[in-house]
Structure 1
Amino acid sequence: MLIDNEQATRIAIENQDLVADALKNNVTKTDIVALGYRKLQLNIFKRLLDDEAFFNTEKDKLKRGDETVWQNFFEKNTWILGYGLDYIINAPLDDKKLEQVVSGYSISSSGKRADALLKTKGIVSALGFCEIKTHRTSLLKQVSAPYRPSCWVISEELAGSITQSQRTVHQSILNIRTCLRITDNEDNLTEETAYLYKPKSYVIIGSLNEFTTSSGVNEAKYSSFEMFRRNTQNPEIITFDELYERASYIVGHSM
């Protein structure tokens, strides 16, 4: 954007803290642009969560199902998965799409498909797996009465997602064993490797809004879900609204 001196002065006055931090920390123009992009993407994330009409419009553009909308969004914003899933930084494989088939020593051959194949960032990288569902997916079975007093059953979609994730990881361990050596499109080995020792996995599904009413939180339903996921270590279950809040925290503490 081209702005005149008056506009630049007004921006500086209205964002004194940001300008001060930029001068103190040698923040570059690229850093500020990247932060602006992430804030814009957060707004889109929020609209996808809360604006049904907007979400349906995005789905119509892709001419696919609900899951494709999120797959497409996270493909453009891998930074959300990178920091939002865990305190360890996760990233997609170099020059690879998030969604990958995992089989043998090549992720381009036929096999079990992961919605997002990630690696940790460090001197040594480890593989991680993520299944991406939708914010509309029910966390609990939609029935009129609990299974037992104050005990509500998880939904078929959530149970299926967990099984799918566990099967993907299991099949990957059988095929890849302990180390994945990444190849390019011509099957040449690259310098990228990732190790596979009891890999971490995630399922992104549903929204905690399911447990809220005009009178407050339905504690029986929420506790039924929360106690279930607290006792499910792999995959870790994260709702879309929680992932949004984690991403917001990342952007809010970027400078």
Structure 2
Amino acid sequence: MKLNITCIVNTGYRKRSLQEFEKLLYDTSYVDAYKNENSIAKASVEKVWQHFFKHNQWIFGYGLDYRFQSILQDEVNLNTADLDGKNTVNGDFLLADNKFTTFVEIKRPDMQLFHGNRNRADCWKLSSDLYDAHSQILEHKASGQIKLQMDITN
């Protein structure tokens, strides 16, 4: 692969994006500044992260064996709501390429991943937050597959 001006521009953009990512992780005052700069109406910190990732889709490919996928839909509704419209769960992103779809559920960086003690196998115990996130992804996957099958048959 030849190095060209596009590679240089992309590298510069990604470097700035990673610096912004670091500020969002560690500087709580920057989260509010980012929200204001980008006119993010909802107060949730998760909305800030969704906005950041929507504008930096290239990051997702690095955790997927460099399969660069694009966002098909953000805040994708994957399950069916109750009759009163409650209990709907939205995934943060649905990504795809020509072979794969990926459900993305963003969790805040301050989410506890492990308990402070180890289990009997001397392994770290997973936190209830991490179990909940995993369960949420499994539900998204199952509901998404059902929804896709229903769309195909209709």
TM-score range, shorter chain: 0.7 to 0.9
Map 1:109-124 → 2, pairs under 5 A: 112-120=89-97, 124=98
Residue 114 (structure 2) pairs with residue 140 (structure 1): yes
Distance 2:151 2:62 in 1: 25
Q: Looking at both structures, which has the greater relative contact order when contacts are Cα pairs under 8 Å and sequence separation is at least 6?
A: 1
Q: Tell me the amino acid that sits aligned with residue 161 of structure 1.
A: A
Report the TM-score when normalising by structure 1.
0.47
Residue 44 of structure 1 and its aligned partner are, at CA, apart by 0.6
Matched, 1:175 2:147: yes
Q: What is the total number of aligned residue pairs between the two structures? A: 142
Change (3 A) 1:149 1:53: farther
**Structure 2 regions of 5+ residues with no counterpart?**
81-87
Q: Distance in 1 between matches of 2:3 and 2:121?
A: 59
Unpaired runs of 5+ in structure 1? 1-23, 105-110, 181-255
- How does 1:1-255 map onto structure 2 within 5 Å? 25=2, 27=4, 29-58=5-34, 62=40, 63-81=42-60, 83-93=61-71, 96-102=72-78, 112-120=89-97, 124-141=98-115, 146=118, 148=120, 150-177=122-149
Distance in 2 of aligned mates of 1:135 and 1:154: 16
Q: CA deviation at 1:164?
A: 0.4
**TM-score of the superposition, structure 2-length normalised?**
0.73
Q: Deviations over 1:168-216 (max 9, x none)?
A: 1001111212987xxxxxxxxxxxxxxxxxxxxxxxxxxxxxxxxxxxx
* 2-structure distance, mates of 1:34, 1:155: 37
CA deviation profile, 1:73-124 (whole Å, cap 9, x unmatched): 101101111x22211413224xx443322479xxxxxx7522111113xxx4
Query: Which one-letter code corresponds to 1:133 in the other structure?
Result: K
Greater gyration radius: 1
Does the 8 Å contact 1:92/1:98 carry over to 2?
no
Cα distance between partner residues in 2 of 1:157 and 1:69: 20
